[in-house]
Structure formats: C-alpha cells, structure tokens
Structure 1
Amino acid sequence: MPYRNQWPTNRLLSTAARLVEHAWNENLASLGITHAGVMALDVLHSEGSMTQAQLAHQVRVQAQTMGKTLHRLEVHGHITRSKNEQDRRSHVVSISPAGERVLEDAARLEHGLLGAGDESDEQFRRRLAEIISSLGGARWRQEVQEDLDAGPDNGSGATPAAVQGAHASVEGSSTTGAPGTSS
C-alpha cells in the first residue's frame, strides 16, 4: 500500500473498517463470541427482551442470520429463549447474566482496540455517523444520527445503534451488498 495518502477517502474508510473488524473479531474469539453476537447482546441489554424477528430488525440483519447467532449465544449460555405468550409461533429472547458479563468484557476489548479518543476522535465519530446516516438511512429507514444524539451507552462512546449501523454497513459492503450477509 505504497500510496495510501493518495487513496480516495472511501477506500481509506473501507480498508480501515475491515482492519478494525478483523482485529476486533480476533479479540472477541478469546471470549468465545462473534461481533454479531455482541451486537445482539448489546440490543438485548439496552432494549430488553424481544422476539428473534424484532432483534434481527434492530441489528439490521436477516432473521435467518439472527437465528444462527442466537443458537451460538444460547449454547454458550449468553441468552435464554422462552415461548412468546402473545404469539406461540415465536420465542422471546433475553440476555442472561453470562451474556451481560461477556458483553462487558467485549466492550473493554473494543474500547482498547483503538485506544482512548480525544476531541478529534469525537469529530471523526460524528462524521462517520453522518456517512452512515446518509448512506444507510434510506436503506434501513432509520437515522443513525438520532441514535448518536441520544448519547453514549456502552462506555466506548458509541451508541448501540450507531455501532450496529457501522457494522451492518461493513457487513453489507463485503460481498453481496446486502445487510446481514455474514454471521
């Protein structure tokens, strides 16, 4: 990559996003969890129990992809599923105490990945949120900027939806262009 300083911004952003995601996944593997699992646990932690379909919508992935992620989380004891009293065809998914602990560990790993931010980091984060909102807002019919304005939630300075939007954008740009194509 001899001429990185001459690359267009979109190539720099795409490459940086992939490198960060690979490094984060390697760190998460030490906890026995994937980044898709962290996103699901993060939503359950902040929003409370919900159905698989609702969770898939919140994380911006297909229900089938969420099913695979939930299976892994359930096997490791990070979530519980119970019959939905309002619709017997579905289950309600809840985060377990073990899921809360692994989510805290994952947040520490994520925060340590790029180090502590400063004012320029906050400006960079705001710009990334603007990019996600403008390119992803129409795609998911949801504005990430509203989530960012709601304030930080997980100690990393990123709101769950902003993080999910960023990860969904990275996933969606990988091979097929569809959100949630990787698990």
Structure 2
Amino acid sequence: MDHQGVPSDALDPASPDPAQWPVGRLLSSAARRVERDWNAHLATWDLNHASHAVLAHLLRSPMSQRELATASSVTEQTMSRVLTRMERSGYVTRAPHDDDRRRHVITITDAGRSAFFVASDRELAASMVTRGLTPEQAEQLRRLLVVVAGERGPEDDPDLSAGSAG
C-alpha cells in the first residue's frame, strides 16, 4: 500500500492512461502542458514564462541581473540570456549602476509594462489551467497547489486538514 491507502501495484507509471500515473508524474505532466499553452499565448508578445516573470518582478522596482536570477530561481547565465532577448524586444533596459559600474540595473520599459498587462489576462490564464473543471474543483486545485508550492503540509491549512479527516 502507498501513503494514500492504494495498493502499490494499482498505479502504472508506464500506462498511457493518466489515471494510472503516480501523483508526481501527473503534476509534472500537467505543469508541462500548462507551460506549453501559456508560452504559446505569451509568444504573441515575444514573451515566455521566464520573461513574463521577469516583467512581474520589475513592475515592483528595477533590479540587478543577480537579484532577478535569485527571484526567478535561475542562474545568472540563464537570466542573462532571458534579459538579452527582452532587451531586443524593447521590454527592458540595462544601465550601469550609479555606485558600481560593474553592475547593471534592469528596468522595465513602457513597452514591457504594456506587454505584461495585455498578456496577463487572468481569465485566460485560469481557463488554460482549469479547463474541464467545475468552479469548485478549480478552487480546490488552487488551494492544493498553494500547499504544494509553499511546501506546507495539509495540517497547515484548516480547509484541507478538515477535509482529510475521513
């Protein structure tokens, strides 16, 4: 038996049927599908999930490449490639830091701000993720993903711990 009380042999990670996959494979597959759909949407503005996140960070304030890499959980080399593309698109500018000429300050441009807000249609984004779900299921999925993404246990969420008592 696994931790959910399902016989271990009941799941078949090699099956073509997602209902037979372990949770990790399901979540990974779902994330890839959502990322593919989201990137296809963002491509209209020459953006992808990584560059869209950079614009979101820069809306709060200008940042260094290192700060953006840390905030985005990527290496500085990866962030450099993302920023080069965004600079070509006219979405960000790089300027030398006032106090340290070796560092650059990355700032969102008006075009980047505009692209971010037009591309960030919440209803469209939600529909890409929750197609086929009822509103109640979509909200339950959101609450569960908050727990998974936040590395919190169900005991930290009263709505989830109450529902898992039976």
TM-score range, shorter chain: 0.7 to 0.9
Please name the residue that 1:114 is paired with: 129
Give yes or no for the alignment of 1:78 onto 2:79: no
Please name the residue that 1:123 is paired with: 140
CA RMSD, aligned part only? 2.2
Give yes or no for the alignment of 1:92 onto 2:105: yes
CA distance in 1 between partners of 2:17 and 2:125 (Å): 29
Relative contact order higher in (CA < 8 Å, ≥ 6 apart)? 1
CA distance in 1 between partners of 2:106 and 2:37 (Å): 28
- Could you tell me which of 59, 63, 67 is aligned with 2:76? 63
How high is the sequence identity, in percent, across the aligned residues? 38
Query: Which residue identity lines up with residue 39 of structure 1 in the other structure?
Result: A
1:123-177, CA deviations, whole angstroms, 9 ceiling, x for partnerless residues? Answer: 3122112212229xxxxxxxxx9xxxxxxxxxxxxxxxxxxxxxxxxxxxxxxxx
- Could you tell me which of 63, 67, 77 is aligned with 1:54? 67
CA distance in 2 between partners of 1:101 and 1:115 (Å): 26
Shift >6 Å, 4+ stretches: none
Give yes or no for the alignment of 1:6 onto 2:23: no
The structure number with the bigger radius of gyration is 2
TM-score, scaled to structure 1: 0.66
- Secondary structure of the 2:45 match is coil
Shift of 1:115: 5.9
Where structure 1 has 5 or more consecutive residues not aligned to the other structure, the ranges are: 136-144, 146-183
Please name the residue that 1:24 is paired with: 38
Shift of 1:120: 3.2
Where structure 2 has 5 or more consecutive residues not aligned to the other structure, the ranges are: 1-14, 157-166
TM-score, scaled to structure 2: 0.72
Task: Give the count of matched residue pairs.
Answer: 135
